[in-house]
């Protein structure tokens, strides 16, 4: 049984073409209340917040959706359409630098081919 002080918020998150968006974050801003949309884009959660609250819906590659809801203990059902956000990633340049090796503090310069061909490094410059 749900206490009357809670509001159930349900809905559907989809893109502009009407396709469901699974894994979108749906939350009441500045609170701990929220959830993620399921595989079918649907979501449901309870909030104890009251009055005018901001519903924030986010997903990578889409512009956030911000809507004001009036939470008064009555179930709210909402449909959210996220718009794609065009992001451009500029080229990334990684250059190998110098590091100190051994007690003699000799300097060794690595070339990109050295990094790529070091056994077990899988071209990982950080070398975790």
- DSSP per residue over 11-74, as a string? EEEEETTS-B-TT-EEEETTSS-EEE--TTSEEEEEE---EEEEEEEE-TTB--EEEEEEESSS
Give domain status of residue 54, yes or no: yes
Residue 105 has pLDDT above 60, yes or no: no
> Domain with 78 in it: what CATH number?
2.60.40.1120
Tell me the per-residue pLDDT of 12-62, one tens digit each, with 9 for 90 and over. 999 999 999 999 999 999 999 999 999 999 999 999 999 999 999 999 999
Q: In this structure, how many other beta carbons lie within 10 angstroms of the beta carbon of residue 19?
A: 9
Query: How many domains would you assign to the chain?
Result: 1
**Domain for residue 91, yes or no?**
no
Instruction: Compute the distance between CA of residue 78 and CA of residue 76 in angstroms, rounded to an integer.
Output: 6
Q: Which domain holds residue 30?
A: 7-82
- Say if 89 falls within a structural domain: no
Within a domain: 126: no
């Amino acid at each position: 049984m749900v206490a009357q002080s809670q509001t159930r918020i349900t809905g559907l998150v989809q893109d502009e073409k009407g396709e469901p968006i699974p894994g979108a974050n749906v939350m009441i801003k500045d609170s701990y209340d929220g959830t993620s949309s399921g595989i079918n884009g649907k979501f449901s959660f309870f909030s104890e917040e009251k009055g005018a609250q901001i519903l924030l819906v986010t997903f990578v590659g889409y512009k956030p959706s911000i809507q004001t809801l009036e939470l008064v203990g009555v179930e709210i059902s909402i449909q959210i359409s996220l718009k794609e956000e065009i992001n451009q990633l500029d080229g990334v340049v990684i250059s190998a630098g110098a590091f100190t090796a051994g007690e003699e503090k000799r300097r060794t310069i690595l070339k990109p081919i050295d990094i790529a061909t070091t056994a077990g490094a899988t071209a990982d410059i950080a070398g975790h």
